[in-house]
Amino acid sequence: MKIKMKINQISNSKYQKDTMMKYLISLFTGITMLSCNYLDVVPDQIPTLDDAFADRYTAEQYLATCYWGMPKAAGWDQNPAFLGSMEMTQNPEFRTSGGMRFALGEDNPTSPVINYWGGTAEAIRSLYAGIRECNIFLDNIGKVQDLKTNEKNRMIAEVKLLKAWMHFYLITYYGPVCIVRESAPVNESTQGIRVYRDKIDDCFEYVIGLLDEIIDSRALPDRITNRTTELGRFTEAVPYALKARVLVYWASDLFNGNTDYSSFKNHEGEPFFNQTKDPARWTKAVEACKKAVEVCLTNGIRLYQNTDYLQTKPMSDTTLLINTLRSAVSEQINLNVELIYGNTGYPCGANVQRHCLPRFESGSTANATSRLSVPLHIVDLFYSSNGLPLDEDDDWAEEDKYRSRFENLRTGDEKHKYMIQLGETTSAVNFDREMRFYAALGFDRGKWYGNHYNNEPNDDAECFYVQARFAEFANRVSNSEYCATGYWAKKLVALNSRWRDANELTYMPYPYPDLRFADMLLLTAESINESTPGDDNAAADPEVYPYIDMVRARAGLEGVVKSWNDYAIADKRSKPLTKGGMREIIRRERKVELALEGQDYWDRKRWKVAHRELNRNIQGWNVMVEDITPQAYYTPTTIYTQRFTMRDYFAPIPESDLINNPQLVQNPGW
């Protein structure tokens, strides 16, 4: 169906001018028409290479080509982590989309669903093709005569960083990869260019080596000064932050002493994975994480606070905090002090946001489809208003409140008037929750400030609330356009995206947050905790608390020690005092803070818990019932059954590549 959609031309024009990706418009065919087969290493455009690096302008074009090779985060068919752990789901009418098939365990080696190894379409290019473009750039940038030395060194550092990022992405997705250190000779035989998969430790060491080269070069700027043409390019903090993430992954259970893969061996009969856990890796991760945090702060990258949010109307402290938490993810790139790096080549625009919006009035239904929805297990994930898991909060233990949270209904009261419509009935699970719950999720009878021409009242208690029951505005309007669970991903909708009238919806695109400061703080807390000597009963290192507490404080919560001591049920009050207890707390904090951002999928895999945690029923409210009463609507209903097995820790190598190169070894289980 062709969807009529008017995008905000002024906003999009400004956005495009504000990113380096504007160069992509003028890329000439000889540069962009690169093969997606990583084995086809002879550059198709060799006769044009001299032209490609003739001057600054064409070199910048090729640099943009290298950036364009980055994996795309803002799309369920392009990012395996978008729906991979089912933080979000699509309604059953779209279960055949690539993202849903991947999340439901329907990947296969014959026709991989999301194929970054060999590439399947323009939307998913082979990362090996992207790495090859980087090598071509590095081989030829020296030919450009009208670039100053510092400009050339900056470009070299950027392209090395792109190589490191692409290799790392392949590692997290496929496990052991084929390291592509340099371009193959043009006259290399077909047999000569066939490559082996390298051991996992060699893969990580290569990525770290590249990042150290970049850091040591000091060639990247501390911040972007030319916001007309350079937004979206790497800055000094990016290699430090990426190095921290890489080292945390390398220290994690999936990649550190993974004996489950003892029989997974290379062409020489040696295990791809190290078989002995190395605790020293966590020590290295601590050092890298602390350094990344230091560099970020020095360069003005920090947590986005309520003083950063630009109010256009007076509002309560509650609404201000909710809008601040939303904006920490969806603010425009030039205003988001928390963003370390976001991919501007494939921004989060209409492609995602229109599927996360409910309808507030009658009018055009095509602009807000509500196809993306948030399951009940994510609703359950967020903390109570005391900053604790619901099952550990003493207030929720009273009168069986926790056990009946999905059964009981409550009426909106004065205490919740900025979050839930006064006098309206909704599920009891929507009350007494932390502010990140209300910033991330939209729900029936829940308040939704902004995103509409008439939804920023002087008294924010009067802003719109979602009406999602049978025959109401946000309920099913057509056979396929509806929210399948009754919870919308409000977090992913920029506050500056809005209806101009009942039929015209415009979008403010923003870079999907590949790296943001809150993530760095939590990685630092995790690495400090895991590097603490002793078993799970050992005392937690007090140094861990400030890093996690900074994230909690921004969300309006008290620190972990005080929260558990003051509000937890009796046998959980000492939880933050041990290494094992803090591990649970840090992992839960990551799931909450980074919810709906695609980090949960990678986290659960590297912690090696996905095969235990991602086999479950995916549930929502009974949104299809033709009954407007809350009792009928608020009935948990199973939509999908998720499956994740040991083979799913790594995606399959495409069979076509195994045929082309018999020296490759397939991942276990495929």
| Mean pLDDT, range 142-159, rounded to an integer | 96
Helices and strands counted in the chain (H then E): 24, 12
Strands of 51-101 (E only): list them.
89-90
- Per-residue H/E/C for 265-328: ECCCCCECCCCCCCCHHHHHHHHHHHHHHHHHHHCCCCCCCCCCCCCCCCCCHHHHHHHHHHHH
Which tens digit of pLDDT belongs to each residue from 342-361? Answer: 988 889 999 999 999 999 98
Long-range CB contacts for residues 614-617, cutoff 8 Å, separation at least 24? 614/85, 614/86, 614/642, 614/643, 614/644, 615/642, 615/643, 615/644, 616/377, 616/641, 616/642, 617/641, 617/642
Structural contact between residues 257 and 278, judged by C-beta atoms closer than 8 angstroms: yes
Q: Which of 236, 251, 239, 238 shows the shortest CA–CA distance to 286? A: 251
Structure tokens at 67: 């950036």
CA distance linking residue 533 with residue 287, whole number of Å: 16
Which tens digit of pLDDT belongs to each residue from 378-422? Answer: 999 999 999 999 999 999 999 889 999 999 999 999 999 999 999
| Mean pLDDT, range 557-581, rounded to an integer | 98
| Mean pLDDT, range 3-26, rounded to an integer | 35
CB atoms inside a 10 Å sphere around CB 462: 13
Which tens digit of pLDDT belongs to each residue from 65-109? Answer: 999 999 999 999 999 999 999 999 999 999 999 999 999 999 999
Which tens digit of pLDDT belongs to each residue from 608-648? Answer: 999 999 999 999 999 999 999 999 999 999 999 999 999 99
Q: Where are the domains of the chain?
A: 317-511
Which tens digit of pLDDT belongs to each residue from 508-567? Answer: 999 999 999 999 999 999 999 999 999 999 999 999 999 999 999 999 999 999 999 999
pLDDT at residue 431, rounded to an integer: 98
- Is 64 in a helix, a strand, or coil? helix
Residues facing residue 339 across a β-bridge:
516
Structural contact between residues 649 and 172, judged by C-beta atoms closer than 8 angstroms: no
Structure tokens at 651: 């995606």
- DSSP label of 196: P
Band of pLDDT at residue 193, cut at 50, 70 and 90: low
* CA dihedral sign of residues 663, 666, 667, 668: negative
Which tens digit of pLDDT belongs to each residue from 460-494? Answer: 999 999 999 999 999 987 778 999 999 999 999 99
pLDDT at residue 336, rounded to an integer: 95
pLDDT at 32 over 50: no
Range with the lowest mean pLDDT among 226-240, 291-305, 359-373, 412-426? Answer: 359-373
Which tens digit of pLDDT belongs to each residue from 108-148? Answer: 999 999 999 998 765 688 999 999 999 999 999 999 999 99
Q: Which of 343, 133, 338 shows the shortest CA–CA distance to 232? A: 343
Band of pLDDT at residue 231, cut at 50, 70 and 90: confident
CA distance linking residue 439 with residue 443, whole number of Å: 11
pLDDT at residue 652, rounded to an integer: 98
pLDDT at 35 over 80: no
CA distance linking residue 295 with residue 596, whole number of Å: 27
pLDDT at 34 over 80: no
* CA dihedral sign of residues 99, 100, 102, 106: negative
Q: Global pTM?
A: 0.92
Q: How far is CA 25 from CA 32, 62, 239, in A?
A: 11, 12, 27
Residues facing residue 620 across a β-bridge:
637
CA distance linking residue 63 with residue 210, whole number of Å: 18
Which tens digit of pLDDT belongs to each residue from 358-368? Answer: 999 887 666 88
CA 120: distance to chain centroid?
Answer: 22
| Mean pLDDT, range 590-606, rounded to an integer | 98
Q: What is the largest CA-CA distance in the chain?
A: 77
pLDDT at 39 over 60: no
pLDDT at residue 478, rounded to an integer: 77
pLDDT at residue 189, rounded to an integer: 41
pLDDT at residue 40, rounded to an integer: 36
CA distance linking residue 94 with residue 459, whole number of Å: 39
pLDDT at residue 51, rounded to an integer: 84
Band of pLDDT at residue 334, cut at 50, 70 and 90: confident
pLDDT at residue 49, rounded to an integer: 79
pLDDT at residue 3, rounded to an integer: 30
pLDDT at residue 163, rounded to an integer: 98
- Is 613 in a helix, a strand, or coil? helix
Burial class (CB in 10 A: 0-12, 13-18, 19+), 14: middle
CA distance linking residue 250 with residue 137, whole number of Å: 29
Structure tokens at 207: 């990525």
Which secondary structure element, helix H or strand E, spans residue 81, and what is its range? helix 80-83
Structure tokens at 447: 């308040």
